[in-house]
């Protein structure tokens, strides 16, 4: 049967007229199915949660998947920088979303994930997400939430996207995605992204050993089971890629160091515990070097840098969107002005610990089964997904296909 189809395609390709081309494409579709990728982000799912809490479905999914020991986030290990790193294949210093809240001196505007004006303003986003490149190449894409998906980056949105609604039920997300998959082949998105906040929220509020975190993991586990089961019933195969943006760790509330109040008087300060971004507005009589020296002299558990001097391993020294001065905190410590902390957090260095690491589990026609690779950086995911989708990367990225390619069949 397959041989007959191939002969039919070859004959048709020879003799096709414009009118019959559509029919021949359908035959080609049967011979070589279109690739599909469903990218699911479980915010704050630490690399070891499957081993530690043994959620029923995800444990099985992980075991059978092509996976990484852990997924290393970019710096700072926060939600928006890392979702953009995953989908643009670039470090925050290059894709421009350097924190969940920051000031962009180049635009003279502030970014804040809670402000619709900011997240929908394409000017903040300096590299193209995979959905933009795919749409440019005439491939349909959709997003049931993903940082950046509500902005027309270089003028292009995903074909379908939703305004972020923290309270959208899991059921709504599953149904929305399945409805997109039920569209006719020509309109059906080949790349869909989606996102669940629950595990991150429980990790922040209730901590590692809480019943609430376990309940959130089990709730998400049930949702993923339902979504994956329904997607597997479709009459085309989908590569399902489950990732997280960073890990999570409990830390003591007493580990809090106050910043001096003069800092707030002399500079614009964005304190996004545990990193602090300090912008020069010409008000201080001190030079930036003097301010750095003054802060570091009194610091016990943090270290400040002029942004160009941030250690190169962080890939964070290219743009003063991260502050003219940036203060990084020792792991398990907080800094700021309020003394307010949470039970768990992330945002610290991703080096010398695995606590900030996330997950990467993938199944589907493109992936090997039950195959493990060592820890890699999340900027390498985008070229892997582009390869599966057959999208040419036409824009600069930092990730490399070779690094995760061994996961592919
Ligand atoms: P973080 O402070 O890094 O833990 O950020 C996590 C929070 O980011 C979640 O609780 C969500 O409320 C928020 N978030 C995630 N995705 C989006 C989005 N697409 N738009 C707005 N907020 C989002
Ligand atoms: Zn997050
Ligand atoms: Zn978080």
pLDDT for 316-373, tens place per residue?
999 999 999 999 999 999 999 999 999 999 999 999 999 999 999 999 999 999 999 9
Closest C-alpha to ligand 1, atom 18: 147
**Ligand 2 center from residue 228 Cα (angstroms):** 22
pLDDT of 299 higher than 50? yes
Closest C-alpha to ligand 1, atom 19: 147
The domains of the chain, with CATH numbers, are 37-251+351-407 (3.40.720.10), 256-340 (3.30.1360.180)
pLDDT of 2 higher than 50? no
Proximal ligand: closest to the CA of 197: 1
Q: Is 396 exposed, middle or buried (0-12, 13-18, 19+ CB in 10 A)?
A: exposed
Of 398, 395, 392, the closest CA to residue 376 belongs to 398
User: What's the average model confidence in pLDDT over 4-10?
Assistant: 41
User: What's the average model confidence in pLDDT over 81-91?
Assistant: 99
Vertex 183: Cα angle to 178 and 187 (nearest 5): 125
Q: Cα separations (Å) of 13 from 2, 20, 29, 188?
A: 16, 10, 13, 25
Closest C-alpha to ligand 1, atom 11: 197
Q: Which residue has the tokens 């809490």?
A: 53
* Distance between CA atoms of residues 360 and 354, nearest Å: 14
User: What's the average model confidence in pLDDT over 40-65?
Assistant: 98
Return the percentage of the chain with pLDDT > 70, whole number. 92
Tokens of 329: 């905190």
Probe target for ligand 1 pocket from 43, 243, 340, with the most ligand atoms within 8 Å of CB: 43
Taking the CA of residue 200 as reference, the ligand 1 atom at the shortest distance is 4
Residue 32 has what pLDDT?
82
Terminal CA-CA length for the chain: 25
Taking the CA of residue 80 as reference, the ligand 1 atom at the shortest distance is 3
Judged by DSSP in three states, 377 sits in strand
Proximal ligand: closest to the CA of 120: 1
pLDDT of 24 higher than 50? no
Probe target for ligand 1 pocket from 39, 77, 167, 197, with the most ligand atoms within 8 Å of CB: 197
Closest C-alpha to ligand 1, atom 20: 164
Of 194, 100, 208, the closest CA to residue 141 belongs to 194
* Distance between CA atoms of residues 112 and 146, nearest Å: 15
Identify the residues whose C-beta falls under 6 Å from ligand 1: 43, 78-79, 100, 113, 119, 145, 147, 164, 166, 195, 197, 200-201
Tokens of 282: 């010409």
Q: Is the peptide bond before 369 cis (omega within 30 degrees of 0)?
A: no
Residue 280 has what pLDDT?
98
HSE-CB at 103 with a 13 A cutoff on CA atoms is 18
Of 93, 91, 127, 124, the closest CA to residue 109 belongs to 124
Q: What is the pLDDT of residues 121-169, one digit of tens each?
A: 999 999 999 999 999 999 999 999 999 999 999 999 999 999 999 999 9
pTM of the model: 0.93
pLDDT of 21 higher than 50? no
Residue 28 has what pLDDT?
52
Proximal ligand: closest to the CA of 97: 1
Q: What is the mean pLDDT of the chain?
A: 94
* Distance between CA atoms of residues 335 and 298, nearest Å: 13
Residue 122 has what pLDDT?
98
**Ligand 2 center from residue 169 Cα (angstroms):** 18
pLDDT of 237 higher than 70? yes
Taking the CA of residue 166 as reference, the ligand 1 atom at the shortest distance is 12
User: What's the average model confidence in pLDDT over 212-228?
Assistant: 98
Proximal ligand: closest to the CA of 200: 3
Of 233, 133, 139, the closest CA to residue 186 belongs to 139
Tokens of 188: 């059906």
Probe target for ligand 1 pocket from 80, 162, 274, with the most ligand atoms within 8 Å of CB: 80
Taking the CA of residue 43 as reference, the ligand 1 atom at the shortest distance is 6
**Ligand 3 center from residue 156 Cα (angstroms):** 28
Probe target for ligand 1 pocket from 75, 102, 120, 166, with the most ligand atoms within 8 Å of CB: 166
Proximal ligand: closest to the CA of 113: 1
HSE-CB at 47 with a 13 A cutoff on CA atoms is 21
**Ligand 1 center from residue 79 Cα (angstroms):** 6
């Amino acid at each position: 049967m397959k041989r007959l189809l191939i002969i039919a395609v070859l004959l048709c390709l020879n003799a096709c007229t414009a009118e019959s081309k559509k029919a021949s494409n359908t035959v080609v579709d049967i011979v070589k199915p279109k690739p599909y990728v469903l990218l699911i982000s479980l915010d704050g799912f630490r690399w070891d949660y499957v081993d530690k809490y043994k959620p029923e479905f995800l444990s099985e999914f992980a075991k059978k998947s092509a996976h990484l020991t852990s997924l290393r986030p970019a710096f700072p290990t926060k939600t928006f920088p890392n979702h953009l790193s995953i989908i643009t294949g670039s470090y925050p210093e290059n894709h421009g979303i350097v924190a969940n809240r920051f000031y962009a001196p180049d635009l003279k505007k502030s970014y804040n994930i809670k402000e619709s004006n900011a997240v929908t303003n394409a000017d903040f986003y300096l590299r193209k997400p995979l959905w933009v490149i795919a749409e440019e190449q005439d491939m349909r894409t959709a997003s049931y939430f993903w940082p950046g998906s509500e902005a027309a980056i270089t003028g292009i949105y995903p074909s379908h996207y939703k305004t972020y609604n923290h309270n959208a039920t899991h059921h709504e997300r599953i149904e929305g995605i399945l409805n997109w998959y039920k569209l006719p082949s020509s309109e059906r998105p080949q790349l869909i992204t989606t996102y669940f906040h629950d595990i991150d929220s429980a990790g922040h509020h209730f901590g590692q050993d809480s019943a609430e975190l376990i309940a959130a993991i089990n709730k998400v586990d049930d949702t993923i089971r339902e979504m994956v089961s329904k997607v597997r019933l479709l009459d085309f195969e989908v590569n399902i890629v489950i990732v997280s943006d960073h890990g999570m760790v409990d830390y003591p509330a007493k580990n809090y160091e106050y910043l001096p109040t003069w800092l707030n008087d002399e500079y614009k300060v964005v304190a996004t515990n545990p990193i602090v971004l300090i912008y020069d507005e010409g008000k201080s009589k001190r030079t930036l070097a003097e301010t750095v020296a003054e802060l570091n002299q009194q610091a016990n558990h943090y270290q400040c840098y002029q942004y160009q001097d941030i250690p190169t391993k962080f890939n964070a020294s290219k743009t003063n969107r991260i502050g003219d001065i940036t203060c990084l905190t020792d792991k398990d410590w907080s800094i700021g002005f309020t003394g307010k902390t949470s039970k768990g957090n992330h945002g610290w260095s991703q080096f010398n610990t695995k606590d900030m690491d996330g997950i990467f589990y993938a199944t589907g026609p493109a992936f090997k089964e039950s195959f493990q690779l060592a820890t890699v950086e999340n900027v390498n995911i985008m070229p892997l997904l582009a390869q599966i989708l057959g999208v040419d990367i036409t824009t600069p990225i930092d990730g490399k296909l070779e690094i995760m390619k061994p996961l592919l069949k």
